[in-house]
Chain A
């Protein structure tokens, strides 16, 4: 069996070592894995930014029904999964659903929906089988979980409401810890 030349062995060693280094750092959380389709996230973000501004304008004009309709329309989007566009895409979805539900809870007289329907919307926004560990902690997810707790309270499901509030509290606590850690406050 012929032996590898020293130069080729060195090249293979460097490449394999590099792969292991990169993988190790990524595993350690020092290198964030980029989304598979970053352009999808950028497009989604720009679309939602425009829609949120439209909702701002509609609310500024006092047209809550139109604002609700605009946010409802966003539910029909083909939302990318975290594997495609990263956790930020999930946070963007939670932002839209949180804003929609907050608006509905604050304006029950406009296109009113029963609490059970609102809970279904919250669960749709969070995603099937959602757990807080599924997405990096962010204020939008915390808000949606807190709103889910409010809805569960209205349904008389207090134990579940308490769990939802705790989930939201846990995320906010972690975010606060991070903020204090960064700022040295």
Chain B
């Protein structure tokens, strides 16, 4: 179905996340008044806590599902970009996203160079994707909360899915203009796999 929403609206899921951040920030001043109590509580952990914290950091950053900041910038080499992409795909797989094996064909790729990248539109699609069973769960108060939370999660997943597929359209559009250039083809292939996997995650969100 063609998307007729204006492209100038903002990514709703991201706006929600920002509002949450703003709400928590507004309480910071009050929290600071209780700073002494926090420090006292923290003191009870003594130095061993610091060691455990540092150890946790190492374990956290090495966990398959751990999120790491992108390890490249605009001057990164192709090898670096590919390593970063491979790392992310490994994390996605460990998070339960089914990614196709490298070398998978590009059948099913949607979008193209003309597709407008507008994650704000994508973020708005999620409510339409919320399955009927979510509404069924709203017959009890706690079920209503759970259903609302589930809708929010599906909104995030489906919004991100649409954004990823928009980017895939641009990337593969570029690749079509650069036939025979391995880098473009490889990135397009991976982006297509990411798009398919993200779309499946959205479709399966219930």
Given A139-B160, A179-B153, does the pair A42, B26 have CB atoms closer than 8 Å?
yes
Given A42-B26, A86-B25, A142-B163, does the pair A131, B74 have CB atoms closer than 8 Å?
yes
Closest-by-CB residue of B relative to A139 is: B14
In chain A, residues 109-150, which have Cβ atoms closer than 8 Å to a Cβ of chain B? 131-133, 137-140, 142-143, 146-147, 149-150
**Chain B positions near chain A (C-beta within 8 angstroms):** 6-11, 13-14, 17-18, 21-22, 25-26, 28-29, 31-32, 39-40, 42-54, 56-57, 60, 65, 67-74, 76, 81, 84-85, 88, 91-92, 95-97, 113, 116-120, 123, 150, 153-154, 156-157, 159-161, 163-164, 166-168, 170-171, 174, 177-178, 183-184, 187, 191, 194, 198, 201, 204-205
Q: Separation in Å of the A85 CB from the closest CB of chain B?
A: 8
Q: Which 6 A-B pairs have the closest CB atoms?
A: A18-B43, A24-B53, A17-B46, A21-B49, A24-B50, A139-B14
Residue A108 at the B interface, CB < 8 A? no
B25 touches A22 (CB 8 A): no
Interface band, chain A: 35 or more
How far is it, in angstroms, between the C-alpha of A170 and the C-alpha of B191 when the chains are bound? Answer: 10
Closest-by-CB residue of B relative to A178 is: B67
Contacts of A34 in B (CB 8 A): 25, 28, 31-32
B8 touches A132 (CB 8 A): no
In chain A, residues 9-24, which have Cβ atoms closer than 8 Å to a Cβ of chain B? 13-24
B156 touches A179 (CB 8 A): yes
Q: List 10 A-B contacts (CB under 8 A).
A: A42-B26, A88-B21, A106-B8, A131-B72, A132-B72, A140-B14, A143-B120, A158-B177, A176-B97, A179-B156
Q: Which of B25, B97, B150 contacts A38 (CB 8 A)?
A: B25
A30 touches B56 (CB 8 A): yes
Residue A155 at the B interface, CB < 8 A? no
B116 touches A106 (CB 8 A): yes
How far is it, in angstroms, between the C-alpha of A133 and the C-alpha of B76 when the chains are bound? Answer: 13
Q: Separation in Å of the B66 CB from the closest CB of chain A?
A: 9
Q: Separation in Å of the A174 CB from the closest CB of chain B?
A: 5
Given A38-B25, A133-B70, A142-B163, does the pair A102, B174 have CB atoms closer than 8 Å?
no
